[in-house]
Each structure stands twice: as structure tokens, then as C-alpha cells.
Amino acid sequence: MKVMVVDDNINDREIMFELLNAQGYQVTCASNGVEALDKIRKLKPDLVISDIMMPQVDGLGLCRELKRNRETINIPVIIYSSSFTDAQDEKLVLEVGAVAYFRKPLEIAIFLKKIKDIINQYRTGKIAQPMPGILDEKEYLSLYSQRLMKKLEDKVIELENSNKKLEVALSELKTIDRLKDNILANVTHELRTPLTHALGYVELAISETDDAKRKEFSRRCRDALLRENEVIAHLIEAAYAEKGLLKPVKERIHVGNMTNETIKALWPNAQARSIHVSSEIEDNLYAKGDTNQIKHVLENLLDNAIKFNVNGGKVEILAKREDGMVKLCVTDTGIGIPEEKMGKLFEKMYQVDSETTRKFGGIGLGLSIVKYIIEAHGGRIWAKSLPGEGSKFCFTIPLQEET
């Protein structure tokens, strides 16, 4: 059984050759319609399997030529293609006299079975011999150009879509590039500022003879170093979160105690700006989670609520059971966040005010870590805000039922 494989793609040709050869077929290959016609006339194969899109004479032209010639009219032709794939294409393939149309890629076993079936059906006369000249030249050319136009239109649409995707990717890259510059400027700024302060106070302390003043300088130096420590801790934490290493250890958390401890820790910050912090926590409210991590979340939210507040403003922490979870909200009367910036709030290194001259310190990692921690606990975090009126950040974490 002699089979002719026609395909301009060398890999497709080789695969077909090996596959059919292994089945005992005597396979000859050609890389285009002209070469195929020449070989077919000489070798008279029992079956031709041809691709469509090929240089010189394509698969449809080859099939037409074979069906026009009395010597080759009875050789069954199977057309297979990955580009002519809709129903109209299939119709055209059959109209030029092909016996079957396969869409690439076809599973090997199915491909071999179909070939076997077609050869058998052809031999036993179950498939009618195609009539020569089913389509006259004019009709064929018109149908063919329609199909080609359709392919071209599809390609143009595909290109336009790819172009749009590229434009989006380019603009995202530009944003990332800008973000990278901001990050560098920010991180450098946030690391250098407390360090410069600490060095300044150490210098002052060294040359100060007055004991009380020296003590005060040393205290300020310590505060600056604590701030430095905090920035470094944030960077390390973000790197851990990135690598998925912030695994929560599930413990029983007394929400009231945790809230009081957090308020106490940030009390000096609030007091320095006359901000009133209050809390309302449901009695006997316990959460299931990593105490340090959840405390860290609350500290972050409270710290922001104070930092982005107005002097003399208010912060309120509310916690209660809701839908089998603990829901905790931190509400402030601060500067608020513009609506268009809300979508990116929990993204890494995002800051609503990204200018290096901005008023508030921070590297924009806090909320991304907070979101990571809450989601690792199986909870959810969200925010609502009105510029000039304030913000409300809420999160949920699993409730620890009392036993």
C-alpha cells in the first residue's frame, strides 16, 4: 500500500512518515503541490494525504489537478489542515474532490484508524468516486478567494488582538518600571532617614556634656533605630510572604486582649497628634489564628489609621462575630483614599501618594503583607473610603468557638 504525504512542514512530514511507515505503508513525501504531482504521476500511490497551505501549488490545487487528470482521478486524497478549519473550508475541500478532511492535530490512533477506514471504504466502493470538474474554474476561484479572504480577515483580527495585548503589556511594563524607580527611591529614603537621624543624635550625644540632654539624644537615637528596624522587618516579611514562608500557626486568640495590647503599643503615636482611639469588642470573642501575625495586621491598620488621620481625629476598632467568622474593622476620620486608587491598595509597594516628597513615611508593603496574612488564614480583607472623610478597613478570620 503506497501512501504519498504532502506537507511543507518538515516536522509534520517526518512524523507522518514514521507513523505510517510503522503501520506497513510504503510512504513517499513531497514538500509542495508541484513536487507531489510529479511524484504521484510516477509512483501512482494508493492514497494522498496533503496539507493545504503550501508554496507553489497548495493542497486544494493539488487535489483539483489530480481529479482533472484521468490517470490520477481515482487516487483518494485526504486533506488535513490546521488553518482551514471551519465548516465552509471543509465544504470547499470536499468540493474539489477530496475524500475526507482532517483537522490538525488529530490523535495518532484516530488518525491511523481513519486512514485505514478510508482505504477500505474506497476499495470496496463504499465511497463514491469523485466526479471530475465538480467545480468549474471560475466557481472554484471565487470560493477559494472567499475562503482566503476569511483567513486573512481572521488573521487581521488576530493581529489586532495581539497588538492590543502588546500595548497593554507595554503599558504595564512602563508602570512596573516606574514602580521600580519609586520602590528604589522609597526604600532608600526609608532606610536612610532613620539612620541619618540616629547618626546625628549619636554625634550630638558624644559631644554633649549635659547628662539630661545626652540621655534625650540617646533616646531619640534609639527611636530612630527602632524605626529603621521596622522598615527592615517589613522588607524581610515581604520577602517571606513572597516565598510563601509566612505559614500561620493556629492558636486561640482573645480578640479583646489583642486589640488592647495593640492600642497600647501605638498609643504614643496617637497621643502625639491628639487622635482619639476607641474600641468595641464583643465579649468572649476568640479567633483561630497566628497571634503574632494577626496582631501585626491590626498594628498595621491602626498605624495607618493614625498616620493618615488628621490631628485631633478619631479611630475606632470594632470586632464581632459574623457568619461564623470574626470580623474586625478599623475606622478612621483621616484623609481618605480616592476611589480610583482603591483597586491597587493591597498591591505590593503601592502608595496612594507615590511622590518622593510625600508627607508620610512607609514603603507601601504593609497592606500587601496584611492581605497575604489574612488570606493565609482563610479570611478576607477589604476597604471603603471617602476622600476627606476617612477610611474603613475590615477583615475576617476564623472564629474559635468556645469549648
Please give the residue ranges that form the binding site for ligand ADP (CB under 6 A). 300, 304-305, 308, 332, 334-337, 345, 350-353, 362-367, 391
Task: Compare residues 40 and 373 and give the one whose CB is closer to ligand ADP.
Answer: 373
The whole-angstrom separation of Cα 231 and Cα 190 is 7
Least Å distance, CB 176 to ligand ADP, is: 17
Q: Annotate 15-38 with b (16+ C-beta within 10 A) or e (fewer).
A: ebbebbeeeebebbbbbbbbbbbe
Cα 370 to Cα 376: distance, rounded to the nearest angstrom: 10
Rounded Cα–Cα distance for residues 55 and 336 (Å) = 65
| Shortest distance (Å) from residue 217 CB to ligand ADP | 27
Give the helix/strand (H/E) hosting 303: helix 291-307
The answer to whether the peptide bond before residue 398 is cis (omega within 30 degrees of 0) is no
Compute the least distance from the CB of residue 265 to ligand ADP, in Å.
16
Task: Specify the residue for cell string 486561640.
Answer: 252
C-alpha cell at 96: 474539489
Q: Which is nearer to ligand ADP, 33 or 362 (CB)?
A: 362
Residue nearest to ligand ADP (CB): 362
Helix and strand counts by DSSP (H, E) for the chain: 10, 12
Q: Which is nearer to ligand ADP, 336 or 398 (CB)?
A: 336
Question: How far is Cα of residue 162 from the mean position of the Cα atoms in its chain?
Answer: 16
Least Å distance, CB 325 to ligand ADP, is 22
Question: By C-beta, is 285 or 394 nearer to ligand ADP?
Answer: 394
45 vs 390, beta carbon nearer ligand ADP: 390
As a whole number of angstroms, the distance between CA 72 and CA 59 comes to: 15
In the bound state with ligand ADP, the residue whose beta carbon lies nearer, of 4 and 337, is 337
Q: Which is nearer to ligand ADP, 59 or 364 (CB)?
A: 364
Of 286, 369, 291, 284, the residue nearest 325 (C-alpha) = 286
- Contact 262/296 with Cβ under 8 angstroms? no
3-state SS assignment for residue 87:
helix
Minimal distance, residue 272 CB to ligand ADP, in Å: 17
Report, in Å, the least distance between residue 220 CB and ligand ADP. 22
Q: Which one, 194 or 366, has the nearer CB to ligand ADP?
A: 366
Nearer to ligand ADP, 262 or 300 (CB): 300
Q: How far is the CB of 401 from ligand ADP (least distance, A)?
A: 31
Distance (Å, whole) CA 56 – CA 75:
21
Quickly tell me which residue has 520602590 as its cell: 183
Kindly state the smallest distance separating residue 362's Cβ from ligand ADP, in Å.
2
- In the complex, the smallest distance separating the C-beta of residue 354 from ligand ADP, rounded to whole angstroms, is 8
Strands 286-289 and 251-254 come out as: antiparallel
Helices 59-68, 87-95: crossing angle, 10 deg rounding: 30
Residues 48, 39 contacting (CB under 8 angstroms): no
Give the C-alpha separation, 286 to 153, whole Å.
Answer: 62
